Chain A
Amino acid sequence: MSEVKTNVPVLRLENITMQFGGVVAINNLSLEVNQGEIVALIGPNGAGKTTAFNCVTGVYEPTNGIVDFHGKPIVVNHPQGKMVKQYGGINGDLYKDRKPVVHTPDKITHMGIARTFQNIRLFKSQTAFENVLIGTHLRRSSNFLTATFRLNMKEEKAMREKAMNLLEIVGLADVANELATSLPYGKQRRLEIARALATDPTLLLLDEPAAGMNPQETDELGEFIVDIKNQFNLTVFMIEHHMNLVMDISDRIYVLDFGKQIAEGTPEEIQKNPVVIAAYLGVDEE
């Protein structure tokens, strides 16, 4: 377990609601992830977990609500729409003095949030090494002219070293020149993490990192997540179905069901929570 945990919130979601047409995918979700923590977001399929990630990373624009990262706004969408200047009503205080903000995913990554995807999205025509290298593009100082005329050789070299270094850390150095999509499943998941790390994040969002892994691989992954968290001084926010993994490494857990938060607490608390058990096992209607 990490020893750099604090109570300083890194990520804060407040009253996030996401509607697709008439379907409410997330309903008034609020949560916090603190510096140095590993926080898990669990829930049955269709609970809105990935949607929550997509709201944080700017893929979706939440219908309303606020996402803050290190106290800076990522999304501020007022319930009554962006046109409303004078905030009031039910969430009046929450929106007080806050201008509507919607950032694009790349801007959010630039702020320091990196993610992986539930259904792995590697760059399929690129090698493992090139995939990681693309992650380093974000923190470049060169522009297209200096890059074209090779006036950035020093930076280019640093990028390559950093990418290789990351591949070594995730244990993929030997397959650096293999095509990313030709790697086995588990390695692809690690590669996605390496690629995310190349963007120098402070918060790492992992979307089902252990999906499709066997118990042994899952255990290794757990250690690996803790390792990199410590090594890169990260905060980790993850969606996961493998309960062993979740219970092993999480500091806190949020449980989502039908777009609503139904529980929050430490692994021990969640394990005992009857609402959670009901949600997972299903109970007869009272």
Chain B
Amino acid sequence: MKKGNKRLIISLVFVALLYAAGCLIEHTAGTKSMVVTVLQKGAVYALIAVSMNLLNGFTGLFSLGQAGFMLVGAYSYAILTIPMAKRAAVYQYYNGGWVQFTIGVIPALLVAGIVAALFAALIGMPVLRLKGDYLAIATLGFAEIIRAIVQWDTIGPLTNGSNLLKTYPTLKNIMPGNTVLFTFIVVGICIGLILLLINSTYGRAFKAIRDDEVAAEAMGINLFHHKQMAFVISSFFAGIGGALLAMYQGSLQANSFKSSMTYEILLIVVIGGMGSVSGSIMASFLFIACSEWWLRFLDAETVLGNIKVPLLAPGFRMVVFSVVIMVVVLFFRKGIMGDRELWELGSRRGAKGGRK
């Protein structure tokens, strides 16, 4: 117990240092810098990736519906927080829309999670009976159906149809100058809760289901009940993640929540390691930094001296990127962390190390 406490304290200090570093970077680099962008978006993706890992990595449910639940969360948040004064302009084709009130940012974030969780509860009831890739394709299908419904003109007064939602409070409005800190706090709380869940008796039950469904059921674990729980909780956090993504983006459109978004998150989870929270977090920041920042030069046609650098053209960044991902998928199947956590590296390597 004492040793555990010590490790907990070290971890907390480490996290606090990370927060301070994030804060410091924002204050020194200024809001215009790409670092700040990467920190914000990376943190948001970290939450979404961890929520997906809870399903795919910890419970062994291959779900591809994450973008759908993010969409629900993002829309719930935006719809509830667009200021009254701006509604007429945003809902320009729908006479200002149906919703004629606004709520605070934090309650709206919670509502975003809850609405996404409700959707998940409804969808989970039928689809969680399916297994493996059928579950994957069914959740993917539901995400697409959600997207079609949100864009439906008839409920346009609620969702603004397929048009852009904007003018809702963004990261910048809430804690001006400390956007990174705000993102880190919300994401930190959410990931903290997921970690607590994973390390509770329920988390152990999830892992048991992942390892062997038949044995888990023989241990008295109600498969449907626990899968549903993992599905709903994952979607709850995906909903909050979607809302944070909306806050980060400043504008929101159903069209961008395509299945390719789910695939990206899945790839982050794979790169980080299925079943590793810290892996997902690291992979998110890496992924975002590479795609938004470090590899951007690959997209620019560059002339060095008099020679045009070959291959560099719009789109090359993503090619390089997807090749790297394929290399990870094929040759480093365990990802960065496998199913271990950063804080376990020192202590449990002996017990869990020798395995492939």
Binding site for B on A (CB under 8 A): 57-59, 104-107, 109-110, 114-115, 117, 121-127, 130, 133-138, 140, 142, 144, 147-150, 152, 156, 159, 177-179, 181-182, 195-196, 198-199
Give chain B residues whose Cβ lies under 8 Å from the Cβ of A138: 219-221
Is B201 touching A156 in the complex (CB atoms < 8 A)?
Answer: yes
Looking at chain B's contact residues, the main secondary structure is: helix
Give chain A residues whose Cβ lies under 8 Å from the Cβ of B223: 104, 106
Is A123 touching B221 in the complex (CB atoms < 8 A)?
Answer: no
Is A140 touching B201 in the complex (CB atoms < 8 A)?
Answer: yes
Is B201 touching A123 in the complex (CB atoms < 8 A)?
Answer: no
Closest to B211 in A: A123
Closest to B221 in A: A106
Is A137 touching B207 in the complex (CB atoms < 8 A)?
Answer: no
Is B220 touching A59 in the complex (CB atoms < 8 A)?
Answer: no
How many residues of chain B have a CB within 8 Å of chain A?
32
B346 interface residue per 8 A CB criterion = no
Is B207 touching A127 in the complex (CB atoms < 8 A)?
Answer: no
- Further contacts, 15 of them, CB under 8 A, given A150-B200, A199-B219: A59-B214, A104-B223, A106-B220, A121-B215, A125-B211, A126-B211, A127-B352, A134-B208, A134-B221, A138-B219, A144-B200, A144-B229, A150-B196, A152-B201, A159-B201
**Given contacts A126-B207, A144-B229, A135 and B215 within 8 Å (CB-CB):** no
The distance in angstroms between the C-alpha atoms of A137 and B348, with both chains bound, is 23
B351 interface residue per 8 A CB criterion = yes
The distance in angstroms between the C-alpha atoms of A170 and B201, with both chains bound, is 22
**Which chain B residues numbered 206 to 260 have a C-beta less than 8 Å away from chain A?**
207-208, 210-212, 214-223, 229, 233
The distance in angstroms between the C-alpha atoms of A134 and B221, with both chains bound, is 9
B193 interface residue per 8 A CB criterion = yes
A-B residue pairs in contact (CB < 8 Å), sample of 28: A58-B217, A104-B223, A105-B214, A105-B217, A106-B217, A106-B219, A109-B217, A109-B220, A121-B212, A123-B208, A124-B211, A124-B212, A125-B339, A126-B208, A126-B211, A133-B204, A134-B208, A135-B219, A138-B219, A138-B221, A144-B229, A147-B201, A148-B193, A148-B196, A156-B200, A156-B201, A182-B354, A199-B220
B197 interface residue per 8 A CB criterion = yes
Is B196 touching A142 in the complex (CB atoms < 8 A)?
Answer: no
B124 interface residue per 8 A CB criterion = no
Q: Among B200, B207, B221, B355, which residue has its beta carbon within 8 angstroms of that of A179? A: B355
Is B196 touching A123 in the complex (CB atoms < 8 A)?
Answer: no
Is A179 touching B352 in the complex (CB atoms < 8 A)?
Answer: yes
Give chain A residues whose Cβ lies under 8 Å from the Cβ of B275: 125
**Which chain B residues numbered 327 to 347 have a C-beta less than 8 Å away from chain A?**
339
* Per-position 1/0 for B291-314, Cβ under 8 A of A: 000000000000000000000000
Give chain A residues whose Cβ lies under 8 Å from the Cβ of B215: 117, 121-123
The distance in angstroms between the C-alpha atoms of A249 and B200, with both chains bound, is 39
Give chain A residues whose Cβ lies under 8 Å from the Cβ of B218: 57, 59, 105-106, 109, 114-115, 117, 121, 196
**Given contacts A105-B217, A179-B351, A142 and B207 within 8 Å (CB-CB):** no
The distance in angstroms between the C-alpha atoms of A260 and B192, with both chains bound, is 56
Q: Among A58, A134, A147, A178, which residue has its beta carbon within 8 angstroms of that of B219? A: A134
Is B219 touching A104 in the complex (CB atoms < 8 A)?
Answer: no
Q: Tell me how far the C-beta of A114 lies from the nearest C-beta in chain B, rounded to whole angstroms.
A: 7
Q: Tell me how far the C-beta of A177 lies from the nearest C-beta in chain B, rounded to whole angstroms.
A: 5
Give chain B residues whose Cβ lies under 8 Å from the Cβ of A114: 218
